[in-house]
Amino acid sequence: MMSLIRVYKDWLITKFIIWLKGSPFHIKVPIDYMILSITISGYLPKNLNALELFGMYGLYVTKHYSKLCQSVELWELDPEFVRYARKFCDKNVNVIQGDSVKAVKEFRLMGKYNLLVIDNPLVSPYGNGLYEHFNVMPEIFDATEEQFILIFNVILVNPKSLYEDYKFNSISDLKNRDIWIRKRMEFYGTPLEKLTPQEYVKLYSTMFEEWGLIVDYSTFLPRNHRVGFLGFALRKKILS
């Protein structure tokens, strides 16, 4: 159970950051820079309808971009986080309690989105057989418009050091870690346990092409030394 102190500390910090974003400070958080980079490159759609698959209570990421959107559909599994998300999020954010991965797999997403945000948990597995965003690609692209923006997390360290940092070292933890390493190798098709931003951009660009998408733009931004955002402007190939 999440402590009330942590939730309200996050809420106060977020309120303070949002205040600092105004004049005269104009500070920015990583998601702001990611969206700025896509905007400056000319690829941000005018009317944004966003889908956020792993929303939590929306204070770390959603709160910073939801004002730019017509609508945001935020999915969260944990009912406690859902309750706070409904309290903290802007009015244009529709909070849905449920398993977003299952919804994607079963093609149950109702909208057509032009902004996908996938802020999956840092350490995998985080659910029954769930690893990073591997379980939602490429099915998620069925729920998008012809042209869309995809922003998602990639890890910048290897799974071994993440497990060490979090002191996940029981026998079952180590078994899980090794399965994750294997899943990463299968997904990326490389024996490398740690990938650089350049390698990620190259690998995803190839995968997107294979899944029938054209990569118009790609960019990377670190969030901290462990995790970064990849951002892509993608377009569906027209089949003749």
Ligand X SMILES: C[S@@+](CC[C@H](N)C(=O)[O-])C[C@H]1O[C@@H](n2cnc3c(N)ncnc32)[C@H](O)[C@@H]1O
Contacting residues toward ligand X, per CB under 6 A: 54-56, 58-62, 75-78, 81, 99-101, 119, 121, 126-127
- Between residues 45 and 127, which has the closer beta carbon with respect to ligand X? 127
CB 154 within 8 A of CB 120: no
Q: Tell me the three state secondary structure of residue 147.
A: strand
Please state, in angstroms and rounded to a whole number, the distance separating the CA atoms of residues 233 and 219. Answer: 9
- Between residues 129 and 212, which has the closer beta carbon with respect to ligand X? 129
Q: How far is the CB of 229 from ligand X (least distance, A)?
A: 11
Phi-psi region of 59 (alpha: psi -120 to 50; beta: other; left: phi over 0): alpha
Please state, in angstroms and rounded to a whole number, the distance separating the CA atoms of residues 118 and 116. Answer: 6
Q: How far is the CB of 89 from ligand X (least distance, A)?
A: 9
Ranges of H-type helices in 115-170: 159-165
- Between residues 6 and 46, which has the closer beta carbon with respect to ligand X? 6
- Between residues 75 and 200, which has the closer beta carbon with respect to ligand X? 75
CB 162 within 8 A of CB 154: no
- Between residues 126 and 211, which has the closer beta carbon with respect to ligand X? 126
Q: How far is the CB of 79 from ligand X (least distance, A)?
A: 10
Q: How far is the CB of 63 from ligand X (least distance, A)?
A: 7
- Between residues 120 and 219, which has the closer beta carbon with respect to ligand X? 120
Q: How far apart are the first and last CA of the chain?
A: 52
The two three-digit tokens of residue 201, written as one number: 């951009």
Q: How far is the CB of 206 from ligand X (least distance, A)?
A: 26
Please state, in angstroms and rounded to a whole number, the distance separating the CA atoms of residues 103 and 182. Answer: 25
> Which residue, 150, 158, 146, is CA-closest to 119?
150
Q: How far is the CB of 120 from ligand X (least distance, A)?
A: 6
